[in-house]
Chains A and B, each alone.
Chain A
């Protein structure tokens, strides 16, 4: 990677700044270094800062790649002496602005690079091609080759989002290991409910419940079938007494909207 030098310096600066000013970690809001407004004290691990910073980078697009078969690729990596040991980071945040341009429904995936490398022991599994340019690094990040989808000049080159999904899900399926559903890797971005909720100034408890149910109707129905709603039991204070009282939402007694 050609930009490693300045990148590292910048990252260290950012990390320092983060520690000094206790910048809140903004997973959804990029550009951490500038927005050093000391509002809330939220500690963020330095490596997280670094990973966020790294995820924001968009590297120059690699136009041409060396098309070689999997075996040739594995051999080449052995020849240059690259192996699982040559890793700089333990994990990456997959949060490229290329994807975020069209997509805000899920949070970034924390890809445990070292762990995956350790398990598969085969760099060529993901680093399947290298740039045609001899001077370029042997392995590059995914987003060097996979950027915007449907590139007219490279009709068969997948976009970054599809490259991630096809690679991860395909391999998880193949190996019968690792998640293949959305929530297995992503946290869903919950939309800001401040604008969604329509309640009067001092709502009654019932109004609050019905406002939730306005959108989450199935959740409400599921709730009615769950133990949280159906639990029922004798009060320890009245147990074995003459006026035994049943507690729980399933009764009409207590805490039951």
Chain B
């Protein structure tokens, strides 16, 4: 009975090969970010919390009517998240700072899909339902979606929402960056168009970074010296400027490494050209062949013993 040492080493060699593959260094991960995407710069020092962006978003995307009117500004104090009925929401934060009239100075934070340069959701999607478009939008194609919700697991901003109450044809719901409006109709995203104070600046991402840097430089007292989204998770198409530290506004610190990098590197180094399965297959075949010969010699083989298949049959049946 039992396992002799040699067999064990054979087995270990196989396991070792698998391990070695997965441990191979992150040599050639390539970003697939578009070179010159559009983006939006949200200047939180400008936002007045009027919720017009929510209203415009609801209108241009034909989303269901909200439970409470967009003119109801009391909702701002609830810490809401974008959901399957609202691609964007505005929340009010107070840092404790008080203005000349003894009023708390509010900071309004608009939330929506950040349209990452290297989106985790796109990398994760099982069926290419999510894609990063050249114009910067992370686009969702419902016709390919199977509803696995891996995109929602992957998203570092916890943005994609799901129509959990639709039994047969639920959709992943998230900001579209008004893909059709921007791409075909050459219009602005609904929220950027309606914003009364240009808290949302629409433009090429690289121009926006310049604009943001310029605003900070021109008015260093007004801004935190950080463009949120410039580097976070490898860069996002939507970026933020703020006068209050971002961590206090629900905009968490995130690594600069793109989210998909590690998983993609491992997958790529293990499975490019399916080399490791093929090698493993060959090794196992060799081991099988060798052990068959040996067991034949030892006389405990199958009844027929004329080749693998007969051998197998004898043992199995």
Interface residues of A (CB under 8 A from B): 102-103, 149-150, 152, 155-156, 158-159, 161-162, 165-166, 169, 176, 180, 182, 218
Contact = CB atoms under 8 A, between A and B. Distances in A.
Interface in B196-211: 196-198, 201-204, 207, 210-211
A165 B211 contact: no
Contact of B202 (A150, A169, A180): A150
Contacts of A158: 198
Interface string B214-246: 110000000000000000000000000000000
Given A156-B214, A182-B50, A149 B198 contact: yes
A152 B201 CA distance: 11
A169 B198 contact: no
Q: Is the interface of A mostly helix, strand, loop or mixed?
A: loop
Contact of A162 (B198, B204, B214): B198
Contacts, number: 45
A67 to B, nearest CB: 11
14 contacts: A102-B193, A150-B188, A150-B202, A152-B204, A155-B201, A161-B196, A162-B195, A162-B196, A165-B48, A165-B196, A165-B197, A166-B46, A166-B198, A169-B197
Interface residues of B, number: 24
B52 to A, nearest CB: 8
B69 to A, nearest CB: 7
Nearest to B203: A150
A183 B31 CA distance: 48
Given A166-B46, A176-B101, A182-B50, A155 B197 contact: no
B315 to A, nearest CB: 74
**Residue in B192, B198, B203 with the greatest tally of chain A CB atoms within 10 Å:** B198
Nearest to B71: A182
A162 B46 CA distance: 10
B194 interface: yes
A162 B197 contact: yes
Nearest to A166: B197
A19 to B, nearest CB: 36
B196 A155 contact: no
B193 A152 contact: no
Given A176-B101, A218-B69, A155 B207 contact: yes
Interface string B152-195: 00000000000000000000000000000000000010001111
Contacts of A152: 203-204, 207
A176 B214 CA distance: 29
Contacts of A150: 188, 192, 201-203
Given A102-B193, A150-B203, A155 B198 contact: no
A153 B68 CA distance: 40
A119 B204 CA distance: 41
Nearest to A170: B197
A148 to B, nearest CB: 10
Nearest to B99: A173
B193 A155 contact: no
Contacts of B207: 152, 155
Contacts of B215: 156
B310 to A, nearest CB: 76
Interface string B72-115: 00000000000000000000000000001100000000000000
B194 A103 contact: yes
Nearest to A188: B71
Contact of A156 (B48, B101, B196, B211): B211
B55 to A, nearest CB: 9
B48 A169 contact: yes
A129 to B, nearest CB: 14
Nearest to B207: A155
A145 to B, nearest CB: 14
A176 B99 CA distance: 11
Interface string B245-264: 00000000000000000000
Contacts of A169: 48, 197
Interface string B6-46: 00000000000000000000000000000000000000001
Given A156-B211, A176-B100, 10 more contacts: A102-B194, A149-B198, A150-B188, A150-B201, A152-B204, A152-B207, A156-B215, A162-B197, A165-B196, A169-B48
